[in-house]
Amino acid sequence: MAQMPDPATPIMSVEPIDAARMHVADPDMVRDILGYVAERLLASEEPLDGLADRNRLAGVIEGLIGEDGRDFREVLDIYAEDLAPTVLSADSPRMFAFIPSAPTKAALLFDMVVSAASLQGISWFEAAGAVIAENQALRTLADIAEMPSSAGGVFVSGGSAGNLSALVVARDVRRHQRLAAGLPEIPLRVVVSDQAHSSISNTLNITMMRALVVDTTTTDGRLTGALVAEALAREADASDICAVVATAGTTNAGIIDDIAGIGSIARERGWWLHVDGAYGGAGMLAPDVRHRYAGIEQADSLVMDPHKWWFAPFDSAALLYRDPRQAAAVHTQDASYLDVIHDEPAGGPADINPSDLAHHLTRRARGLPLWFSLAVNGLAAYRDAVAHSLELARYAADRLRDHPDCEVIREPDLSIVLFRRRGWGLAEYEEWSRGLLESQRAFVTSSKWRDEVVGRLAFLHPATTTEMVDEVIAALD
Ligand SMILES: *Cc1c(COP(=O)(O)O)cnc(C)c1O
């Protein structure tokens, strides 16, 4: 017989506490925050910002977090009045530095839905509806790249995370092959261009691989199959090379590597072909440049950032694998509390979960804003938006050529223009940048090309006009 509780010791009870009040929405807060959001979304042009005095900030927020809470209006005002203006709007049509961002309104709004619903996209078991929608968006991208029907992947936080997760798979596939063949474990190498993104060298550092860096001076920055072959000819032993990275749109100059040429060497040698299209992948949407991506369909892994040229909000990168099972074999986390998400349904292998395909576990369903926007706007709108950036780059290159003191450094492949203003050094470019930002006409920065300080303009926002470009070029006089 079960023992009866002693009536003298009351059963412990947990009363609802007052702290639950923070889990009850304050209708005023809902209204004011949504009002703030609506104002921002409905503004005719995103402000450029990025000017306010950042030395004031520490004083402004000092003591804001304490034992007792504050009125939300006070905190929201501090955000809106003091903090937000110091943040450069990456989504301003006057943003021409780094890689701008230009999320569609549909994507921004749906990002709020993902937040408001705490939508996670970890596994089929927990989040089938989110996973299937994210996979639909990934399949759309894979189709544009003409990857095989086996391809699949996951949205990660950014291109850097995508490059890392992909190259970990490349490394481990080779490691396991070597182990299976009874070969000793050795440090592996990856062939990279001297123009590859900085996250690639970071990745090699983290994964304890080494780079075989190919100098692209003779091809004006483009890694080609011929250059890779020449570099190989100089190597006494290339058996430690497990992968090659091709870039589909370098971040500095928008250069698309010879993916087909590099890919055929990779196939011949049994290397993993990773294509970094974090910025430039979306250029495939434009029919007049699509041929430059020939060979991308052979990629073993491909990264494209929705938060760049696919017009989605931060932070979102699509990581695609030709064979996602290889990635799952490397990245799946094994823990008894997770068995339930990996269990095999009767009659078939377990579905691969998004969490199995990269270095992460818990993840936001960050692909849904892109999914919603692709469905609502349609691919044709994306094609037009990408074509507009390409046209702006050509327009800017033409205007720069017309300028008596400017020279275009290389014909833009995509939407980035590098140029030289004769007689200028770093100080003059900085002055140009400062003057444009102070007047809120544009945000531009200089860059380097072969050790020379040069001007750089990156186009991405569909609302950028030729007048905005003219203002930037006029400031070079
Ligand atoms: C931007 C970029 C990255 C890094 O992507 P994040 O999203 O910033 O992490 C990697 N490769 C290329 C080619 C890029 O343009």
CA distance 134 to 114: 12
Position of tokens 């020939």?
294
Instruction: Calculate the CA 310 to chain-centre distance.
Output: 10
What is the bridge-based pairing of β-strands 210-214 and 152-156?
unpaired
SS3 111: helix
**Is the distance from CB of 121 to CB of 354 less than 8 angstroms?**
yes
- DSSP 8-class letter at 206: H
> Which ligand 1 atom minimizes the distance to the CA of 196?
13
Q: How far is the CA of 24 from the centre of ligand 1 (A)?
A: 39
- Compute the distance from residue 289 Cα to the ligand 1 centre, in Å: 20
- Which residues surround ligand 1 with Cβ inside 6 Å? 99, 158-160, 163, 197, 199, 247, 251, 276, 278-279, 305, 317
The owner of tokens 């990857």 is 147
Look at phi and psi of residue 295 and say left if phi exceeds 0, alpha if psi is from -120 to 50, else beta.
Answer: left
In the chain, domain spans: 26-87, 111-379, 380-474
Which of 156, 165, 305, 359 should be mutated for ligand 1, with most atoms under 8 A from CB?
Answer: 305
* pLDDT value at residue 12: 81
The pLDDT of residue 319? 98
The answer to whether 92 and 450 are in contact (CB under 8 A) is no
pLDDT for 30 equals 97
Distance 278 CA to ligand 1 centre (A): 5
Which ligand 1 atom is the nearest neighbour of the CA of 317? 7
In sign, the C-alpha dihedral spanning 107, 111, 114, 120 is: positive
| 380-474, CATH topology level | Aspartate Aminotransferase, domain 1 (3.90.1150)
Taken as a whole, the chain contains a residue count of 477
**Which of 193, 251, 359 best tests ligand 1's pocket when mutated (most atoms within 8 Å of CB)?**
251
Q: What tokens were used for 74? A: 């006070």
First-last CA distance in the chain = 95
Question: Strand order in 445-449's β-sheet?
Answer: 406-408, 416-421, 452-458, 445-449
What local confidence, expressed as pLDDT, does residue 76 receive? 97
Interhelix angle for 466-474 vs 379-402, to 10°?
A: 30
pLDDT of residue 351: 86
Same-fold call for 111-379 versus 380-474: no
Give the CATH fold of the 111-379 domain. Answer: Aspartate Aminotransferase; domain 2 (3.40.640)
pLDDT value for 5: 60
Distance 189 CA to ligand 1 centre (A): 21
CA distance 426 to 407: 16
- Which residue's CA lies nearest to atom 3 of ligand 1? 159
Q: Check if the beta carbon of residue 301 is closer than 8 Å to that of residue 169.
A: yes
CA 328 to chain centre: 21
Task: Record the tokens describing residue 316, joined without a space.
Answer: 């979102």
Tell me the residue type at 451.
D
Query: Mean pLDDT in each 10-residue stretch from start to end of the chain (477 residues)?
Result: 63 75 93 97 92 87 96 97 94 97 98 97 96 98 98 98 98 97 97 98 98 97 98 97 98 98 98 98 98 98 98 98 97 88 70 96 98 98 98 98 97 98 98 97 97 98 98 98
**Measured from the CA of 279, which atom of ligand 1 is nearest?**
15
Q: Write down the pLDDT at residue 258.
A: 98
**Which tokens sit at 440?**
């809120």
Contact 321, 329 (CB under 8 A): no
Task: Provide the whole-model pTM.
Answer: 0.96
- Pairing relationship of beta strands 416-421 and 452-458 according to DSSP bridges: antiparallel
CB 222 within 8 A of CB 298: no
Predicted confidence at residue 340, as pLDDT, reads 84
